[in-house]
Structure 1
Amino acid sequence: MEATPSPTGGTSVAIDSDVLVIGGGIAGLTATLAAARAGADVRLVSYKQSTLRNASGLIDILGYLPDSDGPVVDPYAAIPDLPSEHPYRIVGTDTVEEAMALFDDAAANYRGGHTDANALLPTHGGTIKPTARYPASASAGLASDERDVLLVGFEAMTDFDAPRAASHLAAADVPFEVRGVTIRFPGDLRADAKVTRYAKLLDTDGTVTVRGRDRPVREALAERVNPHLEGEERVGFPAVLGDDAAGAVREALAERLGAAVFEVPMGPPSLPGLRLEDALFDALDAAGARFETGNPVVGFDGDGEIEQVYVEKNGAEIPYAADEYVLATGGLVGKGIESERDEVYEPIFGCHIAQPDDRYAWSEHDAFGDHEFARFGVQADAELRPTDAADDVAYENLRAAGSVLGGYDFAAEKSGSGVSIATGYAAGRSAAARVR
């Protein structure tokens, strides 16, 4: 550490590392893990908690190509068909595959790595979603499985209307019969109980009172579902079936129901997302990486190369110095990119973001049109270093990863988590290689 002038006056001691990753989403976590496993001393700083708790827990590489009629079967084979500025084209197909191998190792409770093909999973809205990786808890729910399905919703969880979801799935011409029922979850959970409350109760097989009798909750839940079964071989529940003991919860329910049990991915707050967050932070711990959340990066020193950044803590601006930096702060939704009436900009380093001068060209009249703003983001070179308006590298020791990058529409493509993992991996490995 060395004493450096503070922008608020006086001197501060710079907190040093080989690589400093800014941003705690899946791109930042992957960059940190990749750099740490490559032997670098890595620190992650993030203003907010990981956004994974708001994600479904499904990991998409590429679900749809522009103007395609249906879902992509093999996302790796489709990458060469993407525009040249797409992040996948920048890092290359081999890097995407290596990045997913890193993910598979860190998230051992995920499935889908046995094949290059996308899986098709039902969502809580009753649609079919192509995805590359999915939690083991969802694996019995694959839409390609021909076994009949009973979907079970809970009265207090209005986000999952099981009969409606079943009706939508049936209309999608799935290769199985599907019905939906809504039951009251056993016990006296409040109507506004958090998903973690359901999970904890099922984890511990806690006692609930049903018609004046105390019963283990797993047994009581199975007894409420059993009268609705009409020979279905699979039963799907909203994704609240335990956390630390999720596998044991599913096994206990499956035994009592005589059917395979799976979870249907839900919207935020997402228990599968929280489980994935735990797995990735455990991997960071094992790799020796350091991380901290709750404090924003508010400035930096450097011209052509980042010398240090300033992290705001309790009103003071603390310098953090590193040899290499990774920017993984998110896109327009995550506030890694900001917008005003006449400008879109990256707020920490002022990285260039290409945009039409006419604000009305940022979007289309059709809500589901080809919106320019969906592709707003930092442009980068082959090493993911941000470039300026003349396509020159802005900072030699800065790399960008995840949805802060431009050139792709992750919502339309269903590619958000895959791009984050691939570019996070590439940025982390490249940063680590430069400091060894």
Structure 2
Amino acid sequence: MIGTEVLVVGGGLAGSVAALSAARDGARVTLVSKSESTLRQASGLVDVLGRVDGDLVADPFAAIEDLPESHPYSVVGTEALREGLALFDDVTGDRYRGGDRNALVPTTQGTVKPTLRYPASVAPGIAGDGHETLLVGISTDPDFDAKRAADTLAGTVPGEVRGVTVRFPRLRDDAKRTRYAKLLTEDAEFRDALVEKIAPKVDGADRVGFPAVFGEDPAFVRAELEAGFDAAGEPVSVFEVPTGPPSIPGTRLRDLLRHELEAAGVELVTGVPVVDFEAESAGSGDEDGERVTSIVVDRNGARVPYAPEQVVLATGGLVGEGIDSERDRVYEPVFDLHVPHPEDRYDWSEEPAFGDHAFARFGVRIDDDARPLDADGAVAYENLRAAGAVVGGADTATGKAASGVSLATGSRAGTRAATAVTQS
């Protein structure tokens, strides 16, 4: 039996924030995950609350006050969100920008995404300031049609937006984004050749946006490209447009969090799904409930038990397999936690593709201490907490709030778990 004070299950943003919060509060923390962090598939943006009832939100903290009681923000409060953001800001330092109001970040689809924190390499491209923009697509990357994106943006934000597609020099048609990133970071001749291709197309633009392929050190790449354009007589600001998976900004964020977790002494164990657990009564009476006493993971076919004092569940939602369903029920598969849902399966979704789908809100319900509740509203296990997409009560995809919920619930779960350890 492996002992640990706080065991975090899940290595995404919520799990990482929970583990780091607990470790910084003095707990001995182990983080176990079934697979590599999903952050590599994410944009690297931190959306806190971007839309309510379909309308753009400028001040997410003001909008939170009017959210339903079931929303995770309403449950844990804005203080938890601010604590999560403060931790995120400390981890990312000058690599990220943002304040208390949303910025509109252009996407590769030509839309704008309201987000509260965004990479510094994205900042010069924030939409809505009226600057003339040139978007540059890569001919071998079908995920970013620069001209189409520019045409869409031009119809929604002030300032002229144009798009061009170029063939990056010395690259095969099947080159991966990581290859672009490596050349942009390490090869001055490659950068010069790229600037030479694009400079004649700048034609008075104030800034030039590239798909997010600037590698591990985007500040260096941006500075080198800007110097190249300046030398070519076309002074511009250079910025990245966040892309879909595989996402280099998402990978950068994953690496930043991993570095901080290791620095905080968190033990990271990857590739070990949870396959079983044990619980016992938390006290002498029925009213005391239960507590988790052991969690078993599968390590290359061997059953390895952990004996944690506190547990944080951050395994994701329906997409991340942290929530599962059968024909007649929806449930959380590790602890079989209660997930509120309509009894009739046909009520789980609506006919319109972008309707008010019940499944989008599936997840466990928590109290303000981040502890999952059972069907009667009682705490399921007094030493178990939940964070991130496994927590239900809100359609975070439509509301552009997934990262913020991960920060708020992750911070709350981690700090309360550490506090419980010190008080035991």
Q: Which TM-score band applies after superposition, normalised by the shorter structure?
A: over 0.9
After alignment, is 189-198 or 251-260 more displaced?
189-198
* AA at the equivalent of 1:33: L
Which secondary structure state, in structure 2, belongs to the residue aligned with residue 411 of structure 1?
A: coil
1:87-166 alignment, distance < 5 Å? 87-113=72-98, 115-166=99-150
* AA at the equivalent of 1:91: V
> In the alignment, what sits opposite 1:292?
269
Match for residue 293 of structure 2 among 296, 307, 311:
307
Q: Matches of 2:141 and 2:193 in 1, distance apart?
A: 18
Deviations 1:152-174 (A, max 9, x none): 001001100000000000111x1
Q: Matches of 1:275 and 1:287 in 2, distance apart?
A: 18
Match for residue 267 of structure 1 among 236, 244, 257:
244
CA shift for structure 1 position 286: 1.5
* AA at the equivalent of 1:306: V
Q: Matches of 2:102 and 2:337 in 1, distance apart?
A: 34
Which secondary structure state, in structure 1, belongs to the residue aligned with residue 162 of structure 2?
A: strand
Match for residue 203 of structure 2 among 230, 235, 240:
230
Deviations 1:189-223 (A, max 9, x none): 222222111111111126xxxxxxxxx11111111
Which secondary structure state, in structure 2, belongs to the residue aligned with residue 412 of structure 1?
A: coil
Deviations 1:336-385 (A, max 9, x none): 01112212111110100111110000000111100001001001112111
> In the alignment, what sits opposite 2:169?
186
> In the alignment, what sits opposite 2:340?
354
Q: Matches of 1:306 and 1:228 in 2, distance apart?
A: 62
Q: Are the counterparts in 1 of residues 97 and 120 from structure 2 also a CA contact under 8 Å? A: no
* Cα pair distance change 1:195/1:109, threshold 3 Å: farther
* AA at the equivalent of 2:81: V
Indicate whether 1:220 and 2:203 are aligned. Answer: no
* AA at the equivalent of 2:18: A
Indicate whether 1:62 and 2:44 are aligned. Answer: no
> In the alignment, what sits opposite 1:9?
none
| Root mean square deviation of aligned Cα | 1.0
Indicate whether 1:19 and 2:16 are aligned. Answer: no
Match for residue 84 of structure 1 among 59, 65, 69:
69
Alignment TM-score, normalising by the size of structure 1: 0.92
CA shift for structure 1 position 109: 3.9
> In the alignment, what sits opposite 1:196?
178
> In the alignment, what sits opposite 1:376?
362
Structure 2, gaps ≥5 residues long: 230-234, 281-289
Q: Matches of 1:146 and 1:285 in 2, distance apart?
A: 43
After alignment, is 245-254 or 260-269 more displaced?
245-254
Task: Percent identity, please.
Answer: 57
> In the alignment, what sits opposite 1:175?
158
CA shift for structure 1 position 128: 1.0
Q: Matches of 2:133 and 2:159 in 1, distance apart?
A: 7
* AA at the equivalent of 2:339: I
> In the alignment, what sits opposite 1:388?
374
Structure 1 runs of 4+ with >3 Å offset: 109-113
Deviations 1:232-270 (A, max 9, x none): 010000000222x32111111111112100000001110
> In the alignment, what sits opposite 1:3?
none
Indicate whether 1:281 and 2:267 are aligned. Answer: no
Q: Matches of 2:91 and 2:209 in 1, distance apart?
A: 26
Q: Matches of 1:428 and 1:350 in 2, distance apart?
A: 21
Q: Matches of 2:19 and 2:169 in 1, distance apart?
A: 42
Q: Are the counterparts in 2 of residues 104 and 110 from structure 1 also a CA contact under 8 Å? A: no
Q: Matches of 1:94 and 1:378 in 2, distance apart?
A: 21
Match for residue 37 of structure 1 among 5, 10, 24:
24
Which secondary structure state, in structure 2, belongs to the residue aligned with residue 240 of structure 1?
A: coil
Deviations 1:256-292 (A, max 9, x none): 1121000000011100000000111111112111111
Size of the alignment, in residue pairs? 408
> In the alignment, what sits opposite 2:36?
49
Q: Matches of 1:297 and 1:261 in 2, distance apart?
A: 45
Q: Matches of 1:288 and 1:347 in 2, distance apart?
A: 29
Structure 1, gaps ≥5 residues long: 1-13, 207-215
> In the alignment, what sits opposite 1:212?
none
* Cα pair distance change 1:315/1:111, threshold 3 Å: closer
Q: Matches of 1:396 and 1:101 in 2, distance apart?
A: 27
Q: Are the counterparts in 1 of residues 9 and 311 from structure 2 also a CA contact under 8 Å? A: yes
* AA at the equivalent of 2:26: G
